[in-house]
Amino acid sequence: MNFGVIRRRPRLSVLLLLIAVLLGWVWQERVALWAFPDIISAYTAKEYCSCRYVENNPADYCQAYVKQYVPISGFLDDAPNKRVTASGMGRSHTAVWLGARQGCRLTP
């Protein structure tokens, strides 16, 4: 086997090796990576609903509590119906307060 190419272009060889390793990792974690966009909006809706309507905290406190590194693109707090909708990364989820004993639940 001729390793002359590696000796002549070591940076390119390392770059190609890193790309191959990255692609292998992405393939192995494809299910988790595919689910990631849903997690952002579902977490925000559910946790805000719980913070606001189960724990009865003020809205500004709960906004800060659910703030994440990945921003959400849309947020709606329907206070009269105790329903929270959050959108982010192309996905949208709604959580609704069911009662004192049940708390909040994501709606299908």
The total number of structural domains in the chain stands at 1
pLDDT reported for residue 96: 97
What is the pTM (predicted TM-score) of this model?
0.73
Range of the domain at 55: 4-106
The pLDDT-based confidence of 4 (bands split at 50, 70, 90) is: low
| Lowest-pLDDT range of 1-15, 31-45, 79-93 | 1-15
Distance (Å, rounded) from C-alpha 75 to C-alpha 52?
Answer: 14
DSSP string, 42-77: HHHHHHHHIIIIIS---HHHHHHHH--SSPPSEEEE
Count Cβ atoms below 10 Å from residue 44 Cβ, excluding itself: 25
